[in-house]
């Protein structure tokens, strides 16, 4: 079974960008959608990406040449 959620490092490899780029994108509310997993009462949490969101992001940002 394919993983539903992947880590920041795995998303970085799939998108061929540094993890810092993903962090910057989150900070400026751009880029791929993500999931923040919080523990009770905590404001910091683990970041995960849904494979479906990664694939959708790639599709939306694919430039199709006419010709």
**pLDDT tens digits along 5-52:** 999 999 999 999 999 999 999 999 999 999 999 988 787 889 999 999
Q: What is the pLDDT of residue 1?
A: 62
Confidence (pLDDT) at 13: 97
pLDDT for 2: 73
Q: What one-character DSSP code corresponds to residue 1?
A: -
Tokens of 19: 């993890």
**What is the pLDDT confidence band of residue 67, given thresholds at 50, 70 and 90?**
confident
Indicate if the pLDDT at residue 58 is higher than 80: yes
């Amino acid at each position: 079974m394919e993983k539903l959620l992947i880590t920041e490092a795995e998303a970085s490899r799939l998108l061929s960008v540094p993890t810092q780029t993903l962090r910057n994108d989150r900070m400026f509310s751009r880029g791929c959608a993500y999931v923040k997993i919080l523990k009770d009462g905590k404001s910091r949490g683990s970041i995960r990406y849904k494979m479906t969101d990664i694939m959708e992001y790639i599709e939306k940002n694919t430039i199709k040449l006419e010709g």
